[in-house]
Structure 1
Amino acid sequence: RYYQTPLLKLPWLRITANTSFVFDKLNKIREKPRLSGIANRLLKKISNYTLEDLDMFFNKSDKNLPLPDQIALKDIENSWVNCDIAPDRGVSTNLLFYKPLFFKDLQTSAKGFLSKNYNTNNETASCIMIIGVNSTGGYEGSLKINKKVVSQLKKLDSAYNYVHVEGTGEGVISTQINDITSKANQIIMPMIFIMIVIVLLISFRKISYVILPLFALSVSIIWIFGTMVLLGIPFSTMAVAVVPLMLGLGVDYSVHLSHNYRSELAQGKTPAEAIKISVTEIGEAMFLAMLTTVIAFLSFLTATVPPMRDFGLILALGIIYTFLTALTLQASVRYLVDRKKKQLDREKKKTFKINIFMGKFAKKILKHQKKIIAALLLITVVTAVEATQLKTEFDFNAFLPTETPSIKLYKRIQTEFPFSSQDQEYILLEGDVATTETLTGIMRTHMNLKDDKYIAKKADGSIKTTSIYTIIQQAVNNNKSLIKEFNLDEKTYIPNSNRDVKNLYDYLYDDTEYGFLTKSTLHRETDGRYDAAVIDIYVTLVDDSEKNEAFNKKVEILNTELNEDIEHYGNNVNAIVTGPMIITYKITSSLTHSQIISTIISLVLAALVLIIVYRRVTLGIIAMIPVMMSMIWILGTMYLAGYTLNVMTITVTSLTIGIGVDYAIHATERFRLVADKTGNITKAVTETISRTGGALLISAMTTCLGFAVLIFAPIPPQVQFGIITSTTVLFSFITSVLLLPLVLARWAKWSKKKKGYIISPAPVDEKYLKEIEE
């Protein structure tokens, strides 16, 4: 190895020199006070160090590094004989001090670990350490390891008062979020339970009417979790919403059964008669509601995301379980509790103040029918326009609690360490990659990547990428003899033949210095063939000039540019762009499409079921009007609220169908029953709004308040999910109670005029008419 100087060009290939005499000279200088003082001042001025600092450094080195006190170049001669030709070019401008080329690489790497405001004059600064964590224990194993990492960092922080140590990263963030979510759920779940208890207690004013529905719901939830275990369904982020959904939706069946049962008792029926009439009258509506709701949730099976398919299946089974427990377990226990009571009539006067309120409300609705219909249609038109502008987006940051320490630190690192990005996307090459064509294609891809918008940069402005080609460049720059050894082009460093490529790959793959990196970019089969390669591309989506640009839009640009960067890598080599962000982008892009399909399937199947049951096409379609209007309203409201469709909120359309069709069926069934038995359209509207509307009001209140509790959740999408679901329930109630009876009244008038009867030609049931008029 030789270096050129302005005065002399050394003719031989390598030199070795023993530098141990330097230490002896330094010690002699320090023995003389004046020389020591001059040396100290010079050293302080040049390097900001003193001789005492060097002493301390060497003392610490003696304790921690297994190196001799004195080391000469000849001592490491055997380690560098393979580097016969030095990579250093040009002529040094300084006789005494020169900087080899690797100093520049070292500087570039070092700047990636230093904050952007660092300079040598600062008394304090920040730097980062990157720790690779390898876990084979799955999610739980990862949490355990990261908890240990956080614990050790806290110990370090408390042990030294001159440095502050903090830790962050995906593992640490997941650990903290898991802890926060667990603590929050310990509060949220009981709060949902308490809200439902309060509403039921206020509505029915008897403890037994609170305990029985909750007992039936508890049995259903136990069945759900047991089924999840039997089916091998993991408890994912989406599965967190199962319990509040089951509590919110499942209580509806219990409320309708209890409400109708008490209405019959108030009319003088015995417990046996009341429970029989309730199961008969409400049972059909409950079955239809259950069936259509199950259809709505099973539509999630068309989704491309496995957790969403599991979510739909769990909800569908949960609805079936709550239906069965309400109609069997709750009804049976209710009868057993009341059958021996002799003072049931005492409940008559205080039972249904809600019915009285809803009855007065019905009169107001009948008085202003046209105004109400016009107002609701206007709202529908406005929200429909807004709904068309709703976007699908998944931003990982949106799922994070903003006040979590590790998340604050993560964002700080993104800002203060612009060259430290560890977010990676990949171009995967599969096929025979040990060819000159493949290497040429990889080289061209690196050139294409230079002008991409979101590719991370190093401190020197070069792109932050790794591939077998960059490893070859590094190896050749450190050892020019490789050019001759493997017949490389002196400009591109690409071998002349496929055989040379294979030999170069083998050399790098088995080399102690480059083997680790090479194995991370090349895959070698047991027979020695190289059948895959990967280009690691570091990306950063942090851009101060585009703070308001959607995450999905950035990833869309990234995905488009990476696909455009792909070159020809050989006839038998296939290339694909992949990585965490790209996969997320493609999943969220497919969510909208799959959800549209799910929604259409749900609407069509629910309408078909109602048409078949009612045997009237028009009646089946009318019953779906509240559902479709609620769906439009909620999508428009989401846009106005600044929400987007993400993994949690994308379920809103199917939830709207599941909840809305439930309410619509109960209202339609009550209208059909009263209209058929009395032939009086006004009476049918009034009874639907007052009696069924009262039950729907209790159901809506329990569900709304239950989901509203999610505003205390630490995860932002869970908060959005709670607000959206509560609003959906409210919209479903409004359209089912305000609009549907008025539309049914117009349909009834048309049917009576055309056929002479509304539902059937049966005579008026005078006994029933008298009962509802009391």
Structure 2
Amino acid sequence: MSDAGLDLEPTLNTINSIILGHPLAVVAAFLAVTVLLSGGVGMIETVEDQSDAFSENIAAQEALDAVNEEFGGSFSGDDESTQLLQSGDNVLSRQSLLRSLAVIEQTNERAELRLTDATGPATIIAQQLDPSADSYDAQRRAISRASDTEIRNAVRQSADRPGFQSLVGNDFNRRSASAGASLTVLTHSFPPQDDNLQEVQLGVKDIVERSDGDIRVFGLGITNSETANVIGDSLGIVMPAVLGLILLFLIVAYRDPFDLILGLVALLLSLLWTFGFIGYAGIPFDQNMISVPILLLAVGIDFGIHIVNRYREEKGRGFDVREAMTITNSQLAVAFLIVTVTTVFGFGANLTSNFAPTRNFAIVASVGIIFTFLIFSFFLPAAKIIADRNRKRFNIPSFGSSPLATEESVLGRALPAVATVSKRAPMTFILLFLVVSGGAAAYGAGVDRSFEQEDFLPPEELPDYIEGLPDPFAPSEYTAAGSINFIEDNFDAGNDDEITMYIQGPFTNGDSLETVYRTTRDPPDTYLTTGDRAETTSIITIINDYADRDPEFAALVARNDRNNNGVPDSNLEQIYDALEASPAADRADEYLTEDRRSIRVEFAVESDASQGEITADSREYAEDFRYAATPTGTIVVFQAVTDLIFQSAFQSLFLAIGLTGVFLVGVYWLLDRKPLLGVVNVFPILVTVAVLLATMRILGLSLNAVTATILSITVGVGVAYSVHMTHRFIDEYTAGASTDKSLKITLQGTGGALVGSMLTTSIGTGALVLAISPILGQFGLLMAVSVFYSFVTAIVVFPSAAYVWARYDQGGSLRGWLSEQTNSTPQFAGQDD
């Protein structure tokens, strides 16, 4: 008896007695839990700034934070500032300057906007015209009363004032006193514990929208607001589309209004339970979470179709309601449990991720799958019994009671044909699948990887089909991506083609600047050079620039420059003191800390060099500096995050495959004493993952903050298809049917159900391409492709693996069996072995 495997019949009988003996009580209990968990739905909070969560605890990000904190500058990212971005033919004209001042003045008049300071071309030029113009009203009068010539002269004179040129676009022309873009920084004050920057910036945006001229508002509050809006807008667009498509296919799959309603109610309960859990657990809802309801619908649809389809098979054999459901539950309970555990392994493997949003996704998706299993294993069968008994009681006719794929249907004839082909040379097909998947994996390993802040923002221009949506589906207005592009296109400070080297000194020693200057000779190939030196901006640049304009300061530098190369190598404290007392003090603060122990050096890099190449060169180059140097900046931080994303993706994938494989081998040994069935079960999903990776590279899709989870998710969702095939096959096989007969029944019955599941799931998840955020669209496309591949490999790859396994299980010689099959007419379609 020890070889018979674990006897689950007593446990299954107990479960069936609960479900089938007390269906009303089961339904009532599940509805009560639904009411309880629904209370958590209103407690869900959306994440605003999600990108920061991916760069936590990264050395380059910590260095960048130190740079932003220790050095000044208009682009330092002050959380309490708002930026007014102005564009036009000449933003330094009288009319444009007055428009900018009008926004500042109106902002100042509204106390709730807490304006404490405003710095921009308009304020600087006004004070150049009238040094006593301290109020914004006085500044507006100064510009209004000045002649055009006076304004042009004031612009030219202001160009020498600290920080002015960083506030005008790269096209600033001193001679014509013109520029096509400008930036004004508004600073706000907030009392302790007051966090209403978003409300303040939206208030400034309201003022701008009612003013004339091309001015836009940008800041952390605006970005956070739009990040939150894109979640709601995406759900508002995607979910109706998903539900509509799912409803359409479920109508085809169920072909019965009562079964359709029961299936939809079960799906709704799964979503309510999961969203309630999110609220009660205090897990933030971010863009990663948008895919959770789609995935739950995918698994729920799979469970629902299998239950109804299998129930109809048993009803077709003449069993009554309770007998048919008893057989259905007994045969599907184990398969559902296996699917649930393997799916949790696939989703839960993301708990090893370095990123909190991905770990949160893993928790919610795993819990949601468990909820879905409970609802479809207990609630749906109980509700189905109640419905069918009442249907019989009130003599309500059946509308569609046949399984999806019967022996007489086109589907029922087409699906078993796959096994006919596989039987001819199963080992040859296995080797072919191994070669294809190996090649696909090798090619797919070169898939692109990326991380960009814009990944979490809606695109600057929304597709026409989204722009044209009527209320209540019409999306919010999105400006953050456009503002980021505007800054990058018009201001040097927004240029990503540079690396910041954060160097910790001290820098008061006589030769400290000289050593930095010497190290800029012969930089890496990805760095821009002038002659043999890297193109840099640093405190040395500020010293040289001011020496060119001030003869007295130039003489001071020359007296302390022993080798006459323009870099002082003695009395640095005296030079710094003179610089701090000069008009160049503000610029010096951007490159030298107050304690004079750290500097930052900005290196221009090749715009066509890859992010990875620049980062690798920068890390190696940092070792050449005398003092501790840390490369940072957008390029380095994003590359560090990108590397972690790639590492986490494959770490989760291998963990998911490992746990799933070990579990399946153990389960099939425990249940049937046939552990190799676990390998047969995993093989199709390995092929799926390999081909999916290759497809990503072919389509030019990258592993990013959202799509990085697709590999382990594919294992979790895709393995369900091969689990259902394997479990049905072994049920028939151990009951005495031949290999041919077992595969025929499996492909017709379970294969037919998988067709319906695949169509609804792939179309449903594919609807994510309608999401406003492109990154979610990519995830939806990949999910649809992975589900389709999982179905194909379960139907095509599994039969070959099953034939090879069956030969080993029957104890014969594989070589002799293959020879026998080659020299004989294959038996499948109409006869058994």
Structures share a fold, TM > 0.5? Answer: yes
**How far apart are the structure 1 equivalents of 2:663 and 2:438?**
28
Q: Counterpart of 2:663 in structure 1: which amino acid?
A: V
Change (3 A) 1:664 1:140: farther
Deviation of 1:454 (Å): 6.5
Q: Is the 8 A contact 2:267 2:297 kept in 1?
A: yes
Alignment-derived partner of residue 314 in structure 1:
364
Alignment-derived partner of residue 155 in structure 1:
210
Instruction: Single out whichever of 168-177 and 294-303 deviates more from structure 2.
Output: 168-177
Alignment of 1:398-477 (within 5 A): 400-403=458-461, 406=479, 407=481, 411=485, 414-415=488-489, 421=495, 425-430=499-504, 435-436=509-510, 438-444=512-518, 453=527, 465-467=537-539
**How far apart are the structure 2 equivalents of 1:419 and 1:433?**
24
Q: Does 1:368 align with 2:440?
A: no
Q: Counterpart of 1:744 in structure 2: which amino acid?
A: A
Alignment-derived partner of residue 653 in structure 1:
711
Deviation of 1:537 (Å): 2.9
**How far apart are the structure 1 equivalents of 2:435 and 2:396?**
46
Count of aligned residue pairs for this structure pair: 639
Q: Does 1:535 align with 2:586?
A: no
Match of 1:677 among 719, 726, 735: 735
Q: Does 1:192 align with 2:242?
A: yes
Q: Does 1:394 align with 2:454?
A: no
Match of 1:279 among 320, 329, 333: 329
Alignment-derived partner of residue 39 in structure 2:
none
**How far apart are the structure 2 equivalents of 1:291 and 1:298?**
10
Deviation of 1:674 (Å): 0.5
Instruction: Single out whichever of 234-243 and 439-448 deviates more from structure 2.
Output: 439-448
Instruction: Single out whichever of 307-316 and 719-728 deviates more from structure 2.
Output: 307-316
Unaligned runs of 5+ in 2: 1-92, 95-121, 134-152, 463-477, 815-831
Change (3 A) 1:273 1:488: farther
Match of 2:637 among 578, 583, 601: 583
**How far apart are the structure 1 equivalents of 2:189 and 2:644?**
31
Q: Is the 8 A contact 1:445 1:566 kept in 2?
A: no
Deviation of 1:602 (Å): 1.6
Match of 1:608 among 655, 658, 662: 662
Q: Secondary structure at the match of 1:156?
A: coil
Alignment-derived partner of residue 305 in structure 2:
255
Q: Does 1:332 align with 2:397?
A: no
Change (3 A) 1:371 1:574: same
Change (3 A) 1:665 1:299: same
Deviation of 1:624 (Å): 0.7
Q: Secondary structure at the match of 2:810?
A: helix
Alignment-derived partner of residue 210 in structure 1:
260
Change (3 A) 1:270 1:454: farther
Q: Secondary structure at the match of 1:627?
A: helix
Change (3 A) 1:741 1:113: same
Deviation of 1:142 (Å): 5.2
Instruction: Single out whichever of 573-582 and 369-378 deviates more from structure 2.
Output: 369-378
Deviation of 1:451 (Å): 8.5
**How far apart are the structure 2 equivalents of 1:142 and 1:649?**
31
Q: Is the 8 A contact 1:555 1:585 kept in 2?
A: yes
Q: Is the 8 A contact 2:345 2:660 kept in 1?
A: yes
Deviation of 1:726 (Å): 0.3
What's the CA shift string for 1:1-41, capped at 9, x where partnerless?
A: xxxxxxxxxxxxxxxxxxxxxxxxxxxxxxxxxxxxxxxxx
Deviation of 1:629 (Å): 0.7
Alignment of 1:760-771 (within 5 A): none
Q: Secondary structure at the match of 1:213?
A: helix
Alignment-derived partner of residue 613 in structure 2:
557
Instruction: Single out whichever of 391-400 and 263-272 deviates more from structure 2.
Output: 391-400
What's the CA shift string for 1:654-711, capped at 9, x where partnerless?
A: 1221122111111100000011113322221011111111221221112111112112
What's the CA shift string for 1:131-154, capped at 9, x where partnerless?
A: 366797999955444433443333
Alignment-derived partner of residue 402 in structure 2:
351
Q: Is the 8 A contact 2:754 2:791 kept in 1?
A: yes
Q: Counterpart of 2:302 in structure 1: which amino acid?
A: D
Match of 1:596 among 650, 661, 674: 650
**How far apart are the structure 1 equivalents of 2:380 and 2:278?**
24
Q: Is the 8 A contact 2:168 2:179 kept in 1?
A: no
**How far apart are the structure 2 equivalents of 1:434 and 1:414?**
34
Q: Is the 8 A contact 2:310 2:403 kept in 1?
A: no
Q: Is the 8 A contact 2:807 2:813 kept in 1?
A: no
Q: Counterpart of 2:414 in structure 1: which amino acid?
A: F
**How far apart are the structure 1 equivalents of 2:368 and 2:270?**
7
Deviation of 1:186 (Å): 1.0
Q: Is the 8 A contact 1:266 1:347 kept in 2?
A: no
Q: Is the 8 A contact 1:242 1:314 kept in 2?
A: yes
Q: Counterpart of 1:235 in structure 2: which amino acid?
A: F
Instruction: Single out whichever of 271-280 and 320-329 deviates more from structure 2.
Output: 271-280
- Structure 1 length normalisation: TM-score? 0.70
Unaligned runs of 5+ in 1: 1-47, 50-56, 69-97, 158-162, 547-552, 757-772
Instruction: Single out whichever of 646-655 and 420-429 deviates more from structure 2.
Output: 420-429
Give identity over the alignment, percent: 22
Change (3 A) 1:196 1:61: closer
Change (3 A) 1:668 1:506: farther
Deviation of 1:484 (Å): 6.7
**How far apart are the structure 2 equivalents of 1:693 and 1:345?**
30
Q: Is the 8 A contact 1:667 1:741 kept in 2?
A: no
Q: Is the 8 A contact 2:159 2:174 kept in 1?
A: no
**How far apart are the structure 2 equivalents of 1:64 and 1:693?**
81
Change (3 A) 1:228 1:538: farther
Alignment of 1:104-253 (within 5 A): 110=165, 113-114=168-169, 116=171, 126-131=180-185, 141=196, 143-157=198-212, 164-166=214-216, 175=225, 179=229, 182-253=232-303
Q: Say which structure, 1 or 2, has more relative contact order (CA 8 Å, 6+ apart).
A: 2
Q: Counterpart of 2:341 in structure 1: which amino acid?
A: L
Q: Is the 8 A contact 1:685 1:745 kept in 2?
A: no
Change (3 A) 1:363 1:707: closer
Q: Secondary structure at the match of 2:527?
A: coil
Report the structure number with the largest CA radius of gyration: 1
